[in-house]
Amino acid sequence: MKTSSKTIFSLLIALMIGSSMNAQFLKKLGKKAEKAAQRTIERRVEKETSEKTDQALDSILEPGSGGNQAPGNPQTGNTPSSTGNNSGNNTNTGSSDVPQTKSITVYSKFDFVPGDKLMFFDDYSKDFIGDFPSKWNTNGSGEVVTIDNSPQRWMELIPGYGIHYIPNMPNLPEEYTIEFDLLTHGMDNQTSSTAGIEISLSDDENFKAGNHYVEAWLPVGQYAAFGIRAKNYIYGEGTAINSEVRADIRQAVLNQPHISIAVNKARFRLWVNEEKYVDIPRLVPENKLTTLKFNVNGIKDGKEKIFISNLKVAEGGVDLRRKLLSDGKVSTNGILFDVGSANIQPQSMGIILQISQVLAQESSMKLKIVGHTDSDGTDESNLTLSKNRAEAVRNTLISVYGVSADRLTSEGKGESEPVGDNNTPDGKAQNRRVEFIKQ
């Protein structure tokens, strides 16, 4: 094989990108990374013999002849990709081998209802790739990354004893919900990994456990079916609850699950996708906890990685049925859709379930369903999208919950009635909403 040194140099760059798991998995920008890669390439050019160079080029030009396989979750062989589980901003551009989103009928009994007053939302869209996200704080390190060809951004959480990741947000109220998407990489059942992610609620605003706290630990390791742990600590009393809920979420954590948490005063509930695993009525020390924190631990051999995205914290999560009955109107940004689409994301079904229950109780009630969008896209396309989304909610009430079609009407307002700033992720999340109005 005859090639110029310039061609060899270019192809070796491609080889390094193709054969290095981290380089292929994380598309990082940054001068330091580029310089380090350049120095490594130069050393390899000087070191490699012509024979090894030919073998390397053959593995590039003839895939399957000994080159490395594209990285993914070892159990499935899939390349990690985005699920689109955010407030309408994600795209679904992953591998066709990734399991498709479950039917909304699977979620028809999903009773999680997100808060209706947004406190924090971050999809890292305003951050540079390779930087630590600007709306967070940590005593360790981390960075924003993209994965494969998906535009979805994730924050990689670096493990370490006592290291926490804290969103910069107001103090937690009495009643609120927490949602985020979870992504894992490098997990397999070949090693006794105890990898997991811990979600903490604490009265300490910095990096200590605090005098009062609640911890929920989600296992992501594949070695065994580890349970979900829930623990609290109350100053002067010690640990009142320290339990492990039997759960096998191994398959779920390989497929970018959506995690939902609801805190209603002392009550703590946690869902993984549509399944509720934790429901403890007296876990949370009331009027004590102010701060949300994340931590990862148990990482094995450095190959395992944990990422989160689309963190949404909202005050409320209370019973929308009473509000609709008392006020005759309720607005929510908790019904989520795929980007640019009227496809309802199935984890949004808790709200639609509650609306159906009101209609079942009030047999004479009729509702108008109104869709709203953010300002992304043209006025015309947003108007059409909002109409289609409102109609999708109407059709779900009819087809899934058996509401008579003549009791429901729908319309769209597009971006014409914003309630938040369309120049910020938080504002856009507020503007993507659905209203139910008694007729």
* pLDDT for res 372: 97
Mean of the pLDDT values across residues 403-420?
96
User: Does residue 120 have a pLDDT over 90?
Assistant: yes
CA distance 172 to 158: 25
For the chain, percent of residues with pLDDT exceeding 90 = 56
The pLDDT of residue 221 is 87
pLDDT band for position 114 (cuts 50, 70, 90): confident
Of residues 122 and 161, more confidently modeled? 122
CA nearest to 18, candidates 51, 81, 61: 61
pLDDT higher at 78 or 126: 126
pLDDT computed for residue 102 by the predictor: 55
Per-residue confidence (pLDDT) for residue 15, from 0 to 100: 45
Asked if 205 contacts 169 with a C-beta cutoff of 8 angstroms, the reply is no
Report the 10 Å Cβ neighbour count for 4: 8
Determine the pLDDT at residue 156: 95
Q: How confident is the model at residue 320 (pLDDT cuts 50, 70, 90)?
A: confident
The whole-number pLDDT of residue 136 equals 98
* 289: pLDDT strictly greater than 50: yes
Only one residue has tokens 């296992």, namely 219
Query: What confidence tier does 150 reach under pLDDT thresholds 50, 70, 90?
Result: confident
Most confident of 116-120, 306-310, 317-321: 306-310
Q: Quick one: pLDDT at residue 421?
A: 94
> CB of 82 within 8 A of CB of 150?
yes
φ, ψ for residue 427 (rounded to 5)?
A: -65, -40
**Rounded to an integer, what distance in angstroms lies between the CA atom of residue 313 and that of residue 172?**
9
Statement: residue 73 has pLDDT above 50: no
Choice among 98-107, 139-148, 220-229 with the minimum mean pLDDT = 98-107
Q: What's the pLDDT at 181?
A: 96
Does residue 375 register a pLDDT over 80?
A: yes
Supply the pLDDT for residue 104.
Answer: 65
CB-CB contact of 350 with 111 (8 Å): yes
pLDDT (0 to 100) of residue 113 = 87
Mean confidence (pLDDT) of the chain? 80
The confidence score (pLDDT) of residue 78 equals 35
Instruction: Using the predicted structure, report yes or no on whether residue 247 has a pLDDT greater than 70.
Output: yes
Per-residue confidence band for 346, with pLDDT thresholds at 50, 70 and 90: confident
* pLDDT value at 261 more than 90: yes
Give residue for tokens 């804290």: 166
Across 237-248, average pLDDT: 92
Residue among 364, 220, 351 at smallest CA distance from 294:
220
More confident residue, 41 or 84: 41
Average pLDDT over residues 344-362: 90
Q: Which two tokens stand for residue 48?
A: 């490699």
* pLDDT exceeds 70 at position 58: no
Please give the pLDDT value at position 279. Answer: 95
User: pLDDT tens digits for 184-209?
Assistant: 988 888 777 889 999 999 999 999 99
Q: Can you list the domains of the chain with their CATH numbers?
A: 5-61 (no CATH), 117-315 (2.60.120.200), 320-438 (3.30.1330.60)
Out of 24-38, 114-128, 406-420, least confident range: 24-38
